[in-house]
Structure formats: C-alpha cells, structure tokens
Amino acid sequence: DTGVSQDPRHKITKRGQNVTFRCDPISEHNRLYWYRQTLGQGPEFLTYFQNEAQLEKSRLLSDRFSAERPKGSFSTLEIQRTEQGDSAMYLCASSPRGGTEAFFGQGTRLTVV
C-alpha cells in the first residue's frame, strides 16, 4: 500500500513530556498537511508544507508545536510540554502537484494522562 503512513498509530504520554509524530506522504506529493481532530469534531487545520517550505500555520499551532519537513519528503510534528488538552487524533495528508485532492493517513491518536 502506498498511501500516507503515520507513525505511531497510538501514543500515551504523561503531561509535560515531549512527543514527536512522523508522517510519510505519498511518493512525489509535494504538499503535506497536518490536522488535529478531537472527539465529535471535524479535523482542524494546523499547518501546510509545499516541498520543504512551511507556508501556512494555524493560530491553533501554539509555541509548543513545531512541524518540519526536511528535504520535502517525510514530516514530523513535535509537541513540547504536552497538556491534557493536546489529547486528539493528529492527521497527516498529502496532495500531488497541481491536484486538489488530499489523501489522508489513518492518524496518530495521542492521549495525555
């Protein structure tokens, strides 16, 4: 399967710890997105990369959140000093050059205890 891959699928962490998630987009997709989804809500946009450049960031992305996409391939999303309110599903998606369809991964479910 060559879809969007996210790792890990589940993460339980203690409040105050740092966590990092990885997203591998579909090969040759130049655009990559991160979203966050809490129970009963639709996904909320966090940030967007075109190749290695981070072009848009939501105001939801506080200083504790940082995302990178070195070399325009995989991406990482790090959350520092996690809080219980960070508990959510973190979704990654990618799109091909010139296309508007976004392909989503299955997400990483974060639980902060």
Partner 1 sequence: DAKTTQPNSMESNEEEPVHLPCNHSTISGTDYIHWYRQLPSQGPEYVIHGLTSNVNNRMASLAIAEDRKSSTLILHRATLRDAAVYYCILSPTGNQFYFGTGTSLTVIP
Applying CB under 8 A, the residues found at the interface with partner 1 are: 4, 31, 33, 40-45, 48, 55-56, 58, 91, 93, 95, 99-107
Residue 17 C-beta: closest distance to partner 1, Å: 25
Residue 65 C-beta: closest distance to partner 1, Å: 16
Q: Which is nearer to partner 1, 21 or 48 (CB)?
A: 48
**Contact present, 3 and 94 (Cβ < 8 Å):** no
Q: Rounded CA gap, 110 and 10, in Å?
A: 6
Q: Which is nearer to partner 1, 1 or 101 (CB)?
A: 101
Residue 98 C-beta: closest distance to partner 1, Å: 10
Q: Which is nearer to partner 1, 19 or 48 (CB)?
A: 48
Q: Rounded CA gap, 25 and 31, in Å?
A: 9
For 28, counting Cβ atoms within 10 Å of its Cβ (0-12 exposed, 13-18 middle, 19+ buried), the class is: exposed
CA-based radius of gyration for the chain? 13
Residue 10 C-beta: closest distance to partner 1, Å: 11
**Torsion over CA: 60, 75, 102, 97 (sign):** positive
Q: Which is nearer to partner 1, 13 or 102 (CB)?
A: 102
